[in-house]
Amino acid sequence: MHRFVAINTLALAATTFMLAAPLAQAQTADQKYQAEVARCHSGQSQQDHATCLREAGAARDEARKGNLASPAPAAADANATDRCKAQPAADQAECIQRITGSGNTTTQGSVAAGGVIRETVTPIPPAKP
């Protein structure tokens, strides 16, 4: 009898968690939507007012459907290195250095400001006479 009660309690807790998770996501989506609308009204977005509101609403709708998610860091890294593969073979190593920030790489700017600029300086010794 005690085992049956414990299993039922566990099942009830799991069901409650499964039902509460989408609700929590919806609240988060609504909170993000309200923050985006506030940015639209304040003029802090990089879009005109109507486009900003339309994009905020579309993002909220997609988040509620579970279609809006940030990529895992590993997926973002793989995407970045895949972009370097499109470069000529001689430039791929330096491209990967820029993307990963290794070597003598500096980063300036931001996405919100219009772009991120990464510069890698690779010293080349002078040719021997």
pLDDT digits (tens, 9 = 90+) for 103-124: 888 888 887 777 888 888 888 8
Residue 60 pLDDT = 92
- Asked, for residue 79, whether it belongs to a domain, the answer is yes
Residue 27 pLDDT = 62
- Same domain membership, residue 80 and residue 51: no
**Segment (H or E) for 90:** helix 89-100
Q: Which domain holds residue 90?
A: 73-120
Residue type, 49: H
Which of 110 and 13 is assigned the larger pLDDT?
A: 110
Percent of the chain topping pLDDT 90: 26
Tokens of 44: 């802090």
Residue 54 Cα distances to 29, 33, 50, angstroms: 15, 11, 6
- Same domain membership, residue 109 and residue 89: yes
- Asked, for residue 125, whether it belongs to a domain, the answer is no
Buried b (16+ CB within 10 A) or exposed e, 53-89: beebeebbeebbeeeeeeeeeeeeeeeeeeebeeeee
Which of 102 and 87 is assigned the larger pLDDT?
A: 87
Q: 119: which strand partners?
A: 106
Task: Work out the pLDDT band at 3, boundaries 50, 70, 90.
Answer: low
Residue 67 pLDDT = 85
- Same domain membership, residue 12 and residue 58: yes
- Same domain membership, residue 78 and residue 61: no
Q: 106: which strand partners?
A: 119
The conformation of residue 127, written as its DSSP 8-state character, comes to: P
- Same domain membership, residue 82 and residue 60: no
pLDDT tens track for 31-62: 999 999 999 999 888 889 999 999 999 999 99
Parallel, antiparallel, or unpaired: how do β-strands 105-110 and 115-120 relate?
antiparallel
- Asked, for residue 46, whether it belongs to a domain, the answer is yes
- Same domain membership, residue 58 and residue 24: yes
| Closest by CA position to 83, among listed 101, 72, 98, 68 | 98
Question: How many angstroms separate the CA atoms of 109 and 107, rounded?
Answer: 7
Residue 75 pLDDT = 84
CA atoms within 13 A on the CB side of 19: 6
Residue 109 pLDDT = 86
Asked if residue 6 has pLDDT above 50, the reply is: no
- Asked, for residue 128, whether it belongs to a domain, the answer is no
